[in-house]
Amino acid sequence: MILASFLKAVAQLPDRRFRSVLWRGIALTIALLVGIYALLLWLIEWLTDDPITLPGVGEVTWVGDLLGWGSLGLVILMSIFLMVPVASAITSLFLDEVAQAVEDKHFTGLPDVPHLTIWDGLRDTVNFLGVLIAANIFAFILYIIFPFAAIFIFYALNGYLLGREYFQLAAMRRIGRAAAKDLRKQHSMKIWLAGCLMAVPLTFPLINLIIPILGAATFTHLYHAVSRG
């Protein structure tokens, strides 16, 4: 069931709606990082507008330039570590379109789902991003304590997080938040294993950017499979 759902999702990756969600997520992520850099530059310029005078040295005029280049390095470093989780979180805003594309192709004849407002999607996205960051900070501590088990901790933790998020997304559009949570608990092991399968490509640069789309598609298939018994 899990492998079949995954393979069907992979086969649909060329879908136009899948590609649209991917490019929007990447574009908004880059725009966010550029915006952060512009804000840092403005803040540095504001703080260093007046020359700094050091005792025995006199006026120092190069502090602003130093901080400017330092901020560029900071943003590049941030992009390395935050590109994937931020892109995943932003892409999550549009994953309802992915689930709908899967249902249009594989589960025709279903009733229309209630329209989710942008605020509902934003709330779920912010919650998921917060949990994702907090959990991976905690995991980083475990990596230091148990370096020999780091890879297993990574897959187990992110498998749980991805399974929890994407199954909930697929289920609650059809049966609501509370019923989706109950169904997820009933099939927790199966969902965790499917999440671990999603976590494997997270370790591969660029490929990891498609995980939100692949996850949403896979768990849409998995939701329909378990809901039909």
pLDDT tens string 200-219: 877 776 677 788 888 889 99
Rg value, the chain, Cα: 22
What's the number of domains the chain is made of? 1
Q: How far apart are CA 190 and CA 219, in angstroms?
A: 11
User: Do 4 and 194 meet the contact criterion of CB atoms below 8 Å apart?
Assistant: no
**pLDDT tens per residue across span 18-36:** 888 888 877 777 777 777 7
Q: Is the pLDDT of residue 60 over 70?
A: no
Identify the domain containing residue 199 by its residue range: 2-227
pTM: 0.72
